[in-house]
Structure 1
Amino acid sequence: MSHSYIPFESYKRKWIFNHKDLPVSEDDKAFIMPLSDKSAMEVWNKWISNKSSRAEQFSKGDWPAKQDAWSATEHWQSAWDSIDNQLPDAIIEHIQWPDDAKVYFCYEKYQVIETRWDVFVRNWKCFLFFDDGPLLISPNHKQTLMFEQNGQYKLGIRG
């Protein structure tokens, strides 16, 4: 599946990666690639849901709605608020992907960013300026994360 992308400079949410308090290196920005609406929809339909367009709509038949998809619920807000930039330990234990693993950070059906695992790890706080139920998936790995507005995240295995 080849994707089309929105140029970073034209991405309407690019401010989250240009925040003065959480600087993203130019090298990392080169790997933060927002998908076009059509490509985002293809990723969402293939790996998340072909029925629901955002997290609060997940319903029976969507793997993220299944209780057994999720093994643990932890808190991300305090790590996000801290000076330290490290991902919460439970995420690092749950996901041990190679640095160059392709990942999709999926906000909703038409808002998906393709990046690399190491780029996400370094800049995860920026991605979470929008926290209304985004999912992190990798097409080549089954582990997944879902971030919730209440400051919690869920560790899971996607169906």
Structure 2
Amino acid sequence: MHATTHSQTPDTNLKHETATVRKILDKKGSDVHALRPQNTLHEAVVMLRDKKIGAVVVKDADGRLQGILSERDIVRRLAETPGQTLPQKVEDIMTKTVEVCHPDDALITVLRKMTDGRFRHMPVVEDDALAGIITIGDVVNYRLTELEYEALQLKQLIVG
């Protein structure tokens, strides 16, 4: 009789860590594109286009978070002030009360906040400093990859 080995067990295959914001930032990095409140919407639009991003954070001279400006904010203002929008200041239309998350927050909690608040970008703050920004797309992509991995683990558990 020969000894059998088990490379997989229910514990190793089904062990699950809580997915956190930090896991996304570890892959994505902490680069954050920012403007100052006094910048114009034209400058914001150029940055959004050139960086291929959907929102930009707004920081003061000391680097403190002052707000966030999204494509949606700009589109709303374009509809309200046609032909007069681009010279306006970022501070005039940015969202000043910004929902933030922390690196150790669970992704499911962050996704729920984004869905309930109907926004797609969330700055990440650690020790009162901006540590990055995550998007709803980042969270969904992370979760899809996680689901694919879980499906593979279950398949291996069943097949052996």
TM-score (norm 1): 0.26
Normalized per residue, which structure has more strand? 1
Mark the structure with the bigger radius of gyration. Answer: 2
